[in-house]
Amino acid sequence: MECHWHDEVEFFYVLEGEVLFQLDTDYFPVKAGEAVFIHSGEIHAGHSYNDSTCMYGAIVFDTQLLASASFDHIQANFIAPFLDRTRTFPAHLTGNTRWERQLLFQLRELLSITDQRELGYELAAKQQLLAMLHTIVPQGRHVNRSKREHNDETKTIRLKKAISYIQLHYHQPLKIAELAGQIPMSEGQFCRFFKSMTRQTPIEYVNSYRIRRAAELLLDPSNKISSVAMDVGFDHMSYFVKVFRQQMNCTPSEYRKRMLQAGTESLKV
């Protein structure tokens, strides 16, 4: 899961295995049964850790889901501090304390609610999120994440500029000089900076992003594989297949066949 960010907040819960998680400029291992809370706009990514595979669940939602219709007691004392990050969830939920174990249990229940999607599940999901906010009300459980170190904030702003440029122009030929010019840095400085922040070279990130976009296009059987390769920025079909196989452990045609079969089987169920 390469570096990205979004306006919504997210709970990332590891179901199996272990992942080295990145949150802005911090890295920490997250084991099965642990979770990460990601605030709006925070850069995050998941990396292989100790060669272990990882299965995870994620809850992504707009914070306005929890907002009151008017500025009442609940909004003033609990929702507003959560929105401005002055009283919010810790980044890494390990289960080392009783209240963290309770929070992780509530998160598993939330994942189950959203997975089953029974009639009125939206009500149950919102209720569960509010219950999780209630769990961190006492002192010592919530944290203030409204302030960042200036140096770290500068780094994340620079990285976002480069990634945003990639995401807008991934279908075109991209040169290191173009990306470095967004910050600006020399090409050598930029490559070192990008690798230190993402654990990928700029080219590796570009290819990873292109393959993710290609995987989405391949779900439509009317899209020719050669056209998909061109649409996401690969000039040569052989190189596209090579990079796709490296990242997805299968060829584009094998991926399409597998995903279409999986969709057919789910319809039968």
Per-domain boundaries in the chain: 9-135, 150-261
pLDDT higher than 90, residue 25: no
Q: Which residues pair with 107 in a beta bridge?
A: none
What is the reported pLDDT for 52?
75
Are 9-135 and 150-261 the same fold in CATH? no
Which CATH architecture describes the domain 9-135?
Answer: Sandwich (2.60)
Ramachandran quadrant class, 95 (left: phi over 0; alpha: psi -120 to 50; beta: rest): left
CA angle 192, 197, 201 (to 5 degrees): 50
Report the percentage of the chain scoring pLDDT > 90: 72
In DSSP notation, 12-36 reads: EEEEEEEEEEEETTEEEEEETT-EE
What Cα–Cα distance (Å) separates residue 214 from each residue in 47, 142, 167, 224? 21, 40, 13, 11
What is the reported pLDDT for 212?
92
The set of long-range contacts for 248-256, using a CB threshold of 8 Å and a minimum separation of 24, is 248/211, 248/215, 252/214, 252/218, 252/225, 252/228, 253/225, 255/215, 255/218, 256/218, 256/219, 256/221, 256/225
Which CATH architecture describes the domain 150-261?
Answer: Orthogonal Bundle (1.10)
Q: What does the alpha-carbon distance between residue 95 and residue 240 come to, in Å, rounded to a whole number?
A: 43
pLDDT in tens, 38-85: 999 999 998 878 777 888 999 999 998 998 877 788 899 999 999 999
What Cα–Cα distance (Å) separates residue 115 from each residue in 76, 103, 111, 219, 254? 31, 18, 6, 22, 27
pLDDT in tens, 134-183: 999 999 999 999 887 667 888 889 999 999 999 999 999 999 999 999 99
pLDDT category, 263, cuts 50, 70, 90? low
Residues written for the chain: 269
Tokens 């199996």 belong to residue: 16
3-state secondary structure of 41: coil
List, in sequence order, the alpha helices (H) in the chain: 73-74, 80-83, 98-116, 121-135, 150-169, 176-181, 187-198, 202-217, 225-231, 237-248, 252-268
pLDDT category, 269, cuts 50, 70, 90? very low
DSSP at 156 = H
